Amino acid sequence: MNTHTVLDPANATRQKPWWRGAVIYQIYPRSFMDANGDGIGDLPGITARLDHVARLGADAIWISPFFKSPMKDFGYDVSDYCDVDPIFGTLADFDALIARAHNLRLRVLIDQVYAHTSDEHGWFVESRSSKNNPKADWYVWADARPDGSPPSNWQSVFGGPAWRWDARRGQYYMHNFLDSQPQLNCHNPAVQDALLGVAQFWLDRGVDGFRIDALNFAMHDPQLRDNPPAPPTDKPRTRPFDFQLKRYNQSHPDIALFIERIRALTDRYDGIFTVAEVGGDEADAQMKAYTHGERHLNSAYGFDFLYAERLTPGLVKAAISAWPATPETGWPSWAFENHDAPRALSRWVAPEHRDAFARLKALLLVCLRGNAIIYQGEELGLGQVDIPFAQLQDPEAIANWPLTLSRDGARTPMPWTTCADDAGFGSDTPWLPVGQDNLARAVDLQDNDPHSLLAFTRQCIALRKAHAALATGEVLRCDADAGLLVIERAVPGETVRCLFNLGEAPVAVPADLQRGDIVMCVNEAQVQVLPAFGAMVLRA
């Protein structure tokens, strides 16, 4: 089943790709819609609710992992890359989802997890069986030090050493995350071949691209050199991982060569988009390397906003400035929220200003140069749900409780119907509680209300589509002071000026910024004065 045109590079024509300036809607399948009543969202549930995404105006959906998995890290521990886990449905259900999405003119992106698998994956089962089997070096194995300790001082993200002793092989295996997520040896060409085969399987099934998870974790230092200690900091350190500079356990330069192979594959198909998730201390340099020129990925996004405690003009200016419109610099993507980070409205604003701030935030996202990624429920103004310890599912939060804010609080079920006991999710006992505050923001309450945040988000996306300067324009100006953020963007024939007051006090608009026709106002903004959390877009 191949719904793509396979291109002949010699005959391919150049045109603006669909993804440049796209709005992408992230779906966390466990929590979007439950079609069979078992408490867990699934692929048929996503298909049933795609109209909501289409009405929003998004160009594409990104679906978090739905592959076969023991679910110790909720799908990011893959045991079969080329099949659907039964809790989510079947391959036929996925095909139906693709067909429905394409009928609604929505592209479909899926996650790819290339840094590690589950320890239940057949590749690892074979690899750990001996030191001389065909897949013996498909994972990162190493002998103990003379005293029996791990081969290096590397620490895992979720806490504790990044090495686990395996008596069957008489060696340690590496894991950057859970010890049930063994590290693939992506230095091995055979492993790369297998992963490219996975990508081709899904491309042939009709997907329109990939979000590649934790890509900078895909390769390690083969010499297994110890990481140096991190410099002192005033910030609390909740994990041993935070005490090191991650110089050798990740971010090997050869990752860029593997990316070239990924790009060579995706270029054989028409209209494929690739975006990498890149976190860590060296994220900026790595995102640039992974998106450099025409032989690497199309885009990357980092954690500029996902873990920021405050949204400030300076933060936005720094993020925008890091991606200049130069030939050697790639195309950025931006997310204020996702399944791994606390809801932005719970981080960035006091409850009494929440509604006003939500509108400013929605407008700001579509005014940034790059792709805009909206996490499910963000268009409703969902907040972080406080999950009691007894109901926690997130392994990282359980391991580091109470010092780490649970990711579960941002993964709660989507509230579709306010009056239903199950919030319209499809089960009276969902895998996580909906959250009483979020129930009051259900889709049915907002859907036909022209003054709702949902309606406003639709307007923001429509604004972006109506003005090429917002969708793909370069940044002519980005100024930031204590409260006022100014972004000016342009394409030939159109210039727009975007003004944002990110503070609680009114801000006077300088006279030279007042010129132009107002195309959108937020929170009763006026040309001369922006009230608290006021914003406006002018055609200059």
- Residue 32: inside a domain: yes
> For residue 2, is pLDDT > 60?
no
- Last residue of a domain, which of 419, 434, 464? 464
Cα(359)–Cα(137) distance, integer angstroms: 51
**Do both 492 and 353 map to the same domain?**
no
Helices (H), 205-280: 255-266
Q: Does any domain span residue 141? A: no
Average pLDDT over residues 381-408: 85
Show the CA angle centred on residue 420, arms to residues 90 and 353, nearest 5°.
Answer: 100
Q: Do 225 and 282 fall within a single domain?
A: yes
pLDDT tens digit string along 216-244? Answer: 999 999 999 999 999 999 888 888 999 99
Q: Residue 530: in which H helix or E strand, if any?
A: strand 529-530
Give me the helix-helix angle, 283-290 and 255-266, nearest 10°: 40
Q: What percentage of the chain has pLDDT greater than the value 90?
A: 89
Predicted TM-score (pTM) of the model is: 0.95
- Do 510 and 397 fall within a single domain? no
Task: For residue 402, name the pLDDT band (cuts at 50, 70, 90).
Answer: confident
Whether residues 429 and 491 fall in one domain: no
Residue 123 forms part of a structural domain: no
125, part of any domain: no
Residue 29 and residue 79 in one domain: yes
Is 379 catalytic? The answer is no
Evaluate whether 208 touches 2 at the Cβ level (below 8 Å). no
In a domain, 137, yes or no: no
95 is catalytic: no
Instruction: Name the CA radius of gyration of the chain, rounded.
Output: 23
- The CATH number of residue 287's host domain is 3.20.20.80
Tell whether 434 and 511 lie within a shared domain.
no
Domain that holds residue 493: 474-539
Write out pLDDT tens, residues 112-144: 999 999 999 999 999 999 999 999 999 999 999
Query: Is the residue at 398 inside a domain?
Result: yes
Residue closest to 228 by CA, chosen among 242, 246, 216, 240 = 246
Q: Are 250 and 320 members of one domain?
A: yes
Overall number of domains in the chain: 2
Reply yes or no: is the peptide bond before residue 492 cis, omega within 30 of 0. no
pLDDT value, residue 400: 74
Q: Which contacts of 50-55 are long-range, i.e. CB under 8 A and separated by 24 or more positions?
A: 50/97, 50/100, 50/101, 50/104, 50/106, 51/104, 52/443, 53/25, 53/27, 53/104, 53/106, 54/104, 54/105, 54/106, 55/458
432/499 same-domain check? no
Straight-line distance from the first to the last Cα atom of the chain, in angstroms, rounded to the nearest whole number: 48
The three-state secondary structure class of 448 is: coil
Q: Are residues 198 and 282 in the same domain?
A: yes
Confidence of residue 1 (pLDDT cuts 50, 70, 90): very low
- 476 close to 495: Cβ distance less than 8 angstroms: yes
Co-location of 271 and 313 in the same domain: yes
Counting other chains too, the contacts that 81-86 makes at CB distance below 8 Å and 24 or more residues apart are 81/117, 81/195, 81/198, 81/201, 82/198, 82/201, 82/202, 84/43
CA distance 362 to 533: 12
pLDDT in tens, 263-320: 999 999 999 999 999 998 889 999 999 999 999 999 999 899 999 999 999 999 999 9
Mean pLDDT of the chain: 94
Residue at a domain's end among 464, 497, 519: 464
Based on the fold, state whether residues 292 and 269 are members of the same structural domain.
Answer: yes
In a domain, 167, yes or no: no
What's the CATH number where 488 sits?
Answer: 2.60.40.1180
Of 408, 439, 464, the position where a domain reaches its end is 464
- Domain shared by 430 and 284, yes or no: yes
Q: Looking up tokens 């944002």, which residue turns up? A: 500
In a domain, 85, yes or no: yes
Which position among 213, 337, 379, 422 bears the catalytic label?
A: 213
